[in-house]
Amino acid sequence: MASVTLPIAGRQYTVGCQSGEESRLIDLARMVDDKARKSVEILGGDTTEVRRLLFAALLLADALSDAQTALAKHAQPALPLDPVMLAVEPAANQAELDQLAVRLERLAEMLERQP
């Protein structure tokens, strides 16, 4: 098992991960850090770290929801498609969503284990 130190909201968090996942976690941490910084702009500087991170999580959830809505609209064809394509395309989208869900669950578990 590998570990990586992630700078988020002005603090350093060291988390464990599977070997090879370090760069992915760093990319995800950048997203969280960006939203945490944005939450400071929205909430103001006089707020707790937990509140900033909660707001960052809500901003990320909002972005994820928007992406899922856009994907659902995109997945509904305006014109009839070839039946073979209809059998393949939704499965591919679902597989991508399943992979994303697994990654998000792993990230949540890692963050829950942090002191």
> Token pair for residue 101?
């869900």
Q: Which of 14, 17, 19 is nearest to 114 (CA)?
A: 14
Note the pLDDT of residue 86.
46
**Collapsing DSSP states into helix, strand and coil, what is residue 1?**
coil
Q: Kindly list the domain boundaries of the chain, sorted by start residue.
A: 2-112
Render pLDDT for 31-82 as a digit per residue (tens, 0 to 9).
999 988 888 888 887 788 888 888 888 888 888 888 888 887 776 555 555 5
Give how far Cα 89 sits from Cα of 65, 74, 79, 81, Å.
20, 11, 15, 10
- Indicate the pTM of the whole model: 0.58
Note the pLDDT of residue 105.
74
Quick one: what percent of the chain has pLDDT higher than 70? 72
Question: Is the per-residue pLDDT at 13 higher than 50?
Answer: yes
Question: Half-sphere exposure of residue 19, counting CA atoms within 13 Å on the CB side?
Answer: 1
Greatest extent of the chain over all pairs of C-alpha atoms, in Å: 56
Q: In 10 A of CB 62, how many CB atoms?
A: 11
Note the pLDDT of residue 78.
53
